[in-house]
């Protein structure tokens, strides 16, 4: 299973790979996202099996890699080969608002990564680029200068997305330029630049409407610079679709009842902006797959940790839910 790497800029109190236990927490990269929940599900099934529980159906634990990179070689590969079939499920993604209570995430917005490639004139950096040279057709500007125009237009669009899109129960749409790559050598003008975009969209938007906004912004650049040329790739990485669960579905009700029995409270239902692999499952085969896991939003950071209290409660909630649904 993949996990965010620890970085040199962090200043942790605990080694990111230590798994150290202190003051009621397990410390380490991935403990909150989402290995704590993964372990809780494994232990729940283990305990039920040892107790002699005979489910009316199959319980499948699905652990994959490549989730952080779009899922093409993980969950999407399994779905392509028809290896996942389910009537319902639980995602063990972190859904705890704090380190003492766990809530229930019932939906999220879409995640839409895309890429823009721009072109420019190149050559040796020992002399200036001349627009009139026979090999040049981009106005005497290299790909970095062209990319700067594109990024300025995309950043303007990003500001407009935040200003114009309403805040919904799933959060707010937003967009960011997250990666730029150009050049092959320090003494060479680059002829090609890649710009990567992360766009988060809400249930009232579609990938097609997102595409149209980005293309319109780039076409505005072309109006002011007729030599501006670009390619737009909207399948740069797999996009995570919008994910909406039915609050009145039996699996949601079962988790609510199990959490109340174990923790003395029903979990609060909430939605969020980010996404995960389970959205692909719902889109491909249907069903409901709410998030219920012991971690918090404090992930991919120094001293990431999971509460042992939440972890143990999740084991018991998973067990009780499976008994309700499959007993």
- For 84-135, the pLDDT digits (tens) are 999 999 999 999 989 999 999 999 999 999 999 999 999 999 999 988 888 8
pLDDT score at 298 = 93
Predicted TM-score (pTM) of this structure: 0.85
Phi-psi region of 302 (alpha: psi -120 to 50; beta: other; left: phi over 0): beta
> Which tokens sit at 101?
């209570």
> 327, 320, 259, 318: which is closest to 89 by C-alpha?
318
- The answer to whether residue 27 scores a pLDDT higher than 70 is yes
Site of tokens 């499920």: 89
- How far is 263 from 19, CA to CA, in rounded Å? 26
> 155, 112, 79, 156: which is closest to 273 by C-alpha?
112
Mean pLDDT of the chain: 94
Task: Output DSSP code: residue 171.
Answer: B
Q: Where are the domains of the chain?
A: 21-108+242-326, 110-233
Which architecture, in CATH terms, is 21-108+242-326? 3-Layer(aba) Sandwich (3.40)
Give me the mean pLDDT over the 150-156 stretch. 98
CB-based contacts of 239: which residues, under 8 Å, 6+ apart? 70, 110, 111, 112, 113, 207
pLDDT score at 213 = 98
pLDDT score at 5 = 85
Top pLDDT among 234 and 9 is at 234
Q: From the options 3.30.70.360, 3.40.640.10, 1.20.58.740, 3.30.420.40, give the CATH code of 110-233.
A: 3.30.70.360
Give me the mean pLDDT over the 22-48 stretch. 97
Q: Of 168-177, 247-256, 272-281, which range is least confident?
A: 272-281
pLDDT score at 8 = 65
């Amino acid at each position: 299973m993949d996990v965010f790497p620890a970085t040199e800029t962090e200043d942790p109190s605990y080694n990111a790979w230590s798994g150290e236990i202190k003051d009621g927490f397990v410390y380490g990269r991935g403990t909150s996202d989402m290995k704590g929940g993964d372990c809780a599900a494994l232990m729940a099934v283990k305990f039920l099996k040892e107790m002699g529980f005979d489910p009316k159906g199959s319980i499948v634990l699905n652990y994959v890699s490549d989730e952080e990179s779009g899922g093409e070689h993980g969950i999407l590969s399994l779905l392509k080969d028809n290896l996942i079939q389910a009537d319902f499920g639980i995602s063990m993604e972190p859904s705890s608002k704090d380190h003492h209570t766990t809530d229930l995430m019932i939906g999220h917005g879409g995640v839409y990564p895309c890429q823009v490639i721009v072109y420019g004139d190149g050559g040796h950096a020992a002399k200036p680029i001349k627009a009139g040279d026979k090999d040049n057709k981009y106005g005497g500007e290299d790909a970095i200068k062209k990319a700067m125009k594109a990024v300025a237009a995309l950043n303007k669009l990003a500001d407009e997305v935040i200003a114009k899109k309403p805040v919904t129960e799933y959060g707010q749409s937003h967009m960011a330029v997250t990666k730029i790559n150009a050049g092959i050598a320090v003494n060479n003008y680059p002829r090609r630049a890649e710009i990567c975009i992360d766009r988060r969209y809400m249930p009232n938007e579609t990938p097609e409407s997102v595409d149209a906004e980005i293309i319109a912004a780039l076409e505005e650049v072309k109006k002011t610079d007729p030599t501006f040329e670009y390619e737009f790739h909207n399948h740069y990485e797999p996009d995570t679709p919008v994910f909406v669960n039915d609050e009145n579905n039996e699996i949601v009700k079962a988790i609510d009842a199990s959490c109340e029995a174990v923790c003395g409270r029903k979990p609060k239902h909430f939605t969020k902006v980010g996404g995960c692999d389970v959205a692909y499952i719902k889109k491909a085969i249907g069903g409901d797959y709410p998030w219920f896991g012991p971690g918090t939003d404090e992930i991919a950071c120094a001293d990431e940790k999971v509460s042992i209290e939440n972890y143990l409660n999740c084991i018991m909630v998973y067990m009780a839910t499976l008994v309700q649904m499959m007993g």
